[in-house]
Chains A and B, each alone.
Chain A
Amino acid sequence: MNKKLTSRIAGGIALASAAALALAACSSSSSSGGSSSGGGSTTTLKLVVADYGTGPSNASAKYWDTIVSAFEAAHPDIKVNVTSIPWTNFDQQVQTMIQNKQYPDITEGDYFSNYAQDGLLYPASDVLSDPGNLLPAFKAQGTYNGTQYGMPFTTSSRTLFYNKKLFGAAGIKAAPQTWADVEADAAKIKKLGKVGFGLPLGSEEAQAESLLWMLGDGGGYQTAGKYTIDSPANVEAFTFLKGLVAAGDTEPDPATVDRTTLWEQFAQGTIGMINGSPALIPIIESAGVLKTSDWTSVPIAGKTGPLKVTLGVCDNVAAFRPNGHEAQIKEFLDFAYQDKYQLAFDNEYDLLPATTTAAKALATNPVFSPFLTALPDSVQYPSDTAWANEKTKIQQTIGTAVTGNPATVLSQLEQTATSAS
């Protein structure tokens, strides 16, 4: 009898709490419904960004959170959700979102003209009040069929970093200027038990490292807008690299090693030379192993002398059309492209600005000005619609050219590029 009663009470409590939960669920949904009917409906923007940070302390999500909270305070009707993705996965995750029709509103990272071709993007002029302020040097890269869709957000150029301490210990006096210098210096550093040249040909960014070597004897991915990946100059560049790898002057198996890993090892003082961007500087600083006087950066070595032009990379903002948030995107981008946020980004990651006004503000800065003056003449990646797929193929396979047959690997890549375009 007593037992029955307690079980009844327990049952009652369970029922009551279930009802309470159900009510709570109802009320929470009705309150959000109420706010939308009450005139001030909120729009949520989905912002997907690449992570430039080296750890939690300078994660890019933090940078964007600062902008977003200031923006949301000024625009109570717009909420912004930030998703940050590491570079190693960025292209693939964004592409998966798009393949699955879960479109972001704004992306910041790699941009591909395919998205413009498919009509997924707003032109820059629709979502920025002053698109003319974007650096003109990068306009071509974001342009499809005469309209600019990709909006540069941050830019960088590449230089050759070397460890002066290791150079001193190996008895090397001058900075490497030619491929022969690189080969000789790397061999000397290898004798110290360190890695002579860090060669990241793994899938993270093999397309950048490869282009830097192709430029070394006048090659590149394209000549006059046509893919020429298997040109004699490119084959020669990879034949040189193959020799470098075979001699053990690089890290073992470059085809499987990513840039992030090698940059960290350079910062730990175990690599003699490596091609890098200004983004390597904060990594060196946070590792705390190399003093400022222990390393320096110079123009990248070419076959007969340092490169006159370098690879200029810009990461782009793209505004996606399918969710129909044009007005809100414009509000946000105008806000985020303010000079103060451009400069904050550049100071945080040692990267370069992408707007003319921000570049002017940095023109007198001794660290940034040499990079900035080099930007207008820089070489850039192809911008046609074949590039997105080609880049993936290059990232996956070009590293095998330094262990296998360079001519075969490059001609296979050329074939994929030309059959697609």
Chain B
Amino acid sequence: MTILYWLPEIEDWRGRLRGLGNNPETAWDEALALANSRLDFIRTNALDQMISKIFGDAPPKNLSTKPIRLALLGSGTMAHLRSAIRIAGLRRGLWISIYENDYGQYWQELTDPGSGLHEFKPNVVLFALDPHHLAAGLGAGLGRAEAEHGFAELRDRLQECWRLAREAFHCPVIHQVPLPLHPTLLGNNEHRLPGSRQGLITRLNHALRELADAEGVDLLAIDARAAIDGLKAWHDPALWHRAKQEISPAAAPMYGELVARLLAAKQGRSAKCLVLDLDNTLWGGVVGDDGLEGLVIGQGSALGEAFVAFQEYARELARRGVILAVCSKNDEANAVEPFDKHPEMVLKRHDIASFVANWNDKASNLRAITDELNIGIDSLVFVDDNPFERALIRRELPMVAVPEVGDDPATFAQTLADAGYFEALAVTEEDRARGEQYQGNRQRERLKASTTDLDSYLRSLEMELIWRRFDKVGLQRTVQLINKTNQFNLTTRRYTEEDVLAVMEDSRAFGLQLRLVDRFGDNGIIAIVIGKMNGTEDLAIDTWLMSCRVLGRQVEPTTLNLIAETAKRLGARRLIGEYLPTKKNGMVKDHYAKLGFTVAETGEDGSSRAVLDLPTFAPASTFITVTET
């Protein structure tokens, strides 16, 4: 079972596919809509063929994501996976160009600087080495010592692959976990046969988790996926013999999904917020009609337990950084009551960062939720048991992910997991604390409502901006912010860990991470600045991004004071601020002008370059204390 069942079927698929090229203006959005339907491998291939016809090899103009150049390096046949990877990327607004090594030649191409691979200059490398290739040389006749030797050699070889790719391309590396597809020789206790190929792959797959983490390599866990779908859905020995396909073409759309989720997560494009309907989604029954006592939730019935299990899953997601919100057609008092009073409820009112219950249409309410939380509308996943509401949101807000959850709560959690909306590569301390941060935000809002003038409100917050240079401890969070911040982001330059490390080593550049603490709590790292000397007098602000959570709190001028000071220490006499427009960062268009820069140039595309003279710059006075740690 490798169907993308959480995506909706759409009507007139063939007609829409054939008409895709008719209007070049809307072709990309229409392609995105088609990609977000329940595609099997045939339709996936057909859509990709159409896209190639319309767009050729180059990404469409005004693409709001960083084009991906993926090198697919493997030992078997991979051509049938290309379309699936590209279409799963398209589903997330990503353009992916793919290079594939000549059959079996991955090692030669890696080590030969004149190869097509080096010419391609990938910005992501995916190793897809098949289990037959990896286990070659092993067999049941081997003793323990020989088998151990073989295993150690294999580990070394994989590490060497990763090292070569890193050195050559300075880019992220992904490694596909091989499928344990060899038939067993002993059976249940296969691990007792040292030379067993099946045993070797199983053992390697355990070891890979640790090995990859140690090397900073991300895994493509098709083994875990095959354990859910069934190995036979992923691998067909007859196709291996016929065409050397480790992965069956029928499973290609799911394979592409797994790859694209990783690539999207790397660009910070995973969903951030789970929006939940209430009646018959979080509990059985309609609270407005059935009352608190009439709700089906909790022990005692299979249905009640299923709702509890789904709530538990949502709470687990929240604990690792996913924001929870509620969007319900209800009177607010009725909607809140179970959270406060029903003893079987797993989710409590304080688990929900934004709670919207009224009789407005749900599209408006989803917008209200994104406004309150300061997140993009495309970072929402909306779960509702009602097909009408799902269809409405898909029509009104196509950028919101709306899974086909069906009406059995027992399947909700697995459906969300299968859809992979919240793919994450690491969990930072900020992620864990996120729920509390949004809690603190609400307390701040309440104080603001009770304080009439802004100055006394800001003073009462007792804000402290704590900053430090980029360091290895904060590296993951820095890269995460650089890649996922879309709105308050002056240049939207996306950087990898390697890029950030390069800034740390550059004596004519600086990278600052800023944390904001106030009386309601720690907001975590909320801003990133990268400055680079350009010549002897100019310091270019290469990157300035900030979390929208802290807008309107004087963080911007306080940050500028810090940038000016740091720039002066490098000998700069001018700050150069650059604005590069994207679909999402219109809010910072006049950022530099507002801070007292002089706009020197404005481009036709809306970009601008602004200058600030440092010797005459007078730091703004704000209610924020600045501390270095």
Are the chains A and B members of one assembly? no
Measured CB to CB, the residues of B under 8 A from A are: none
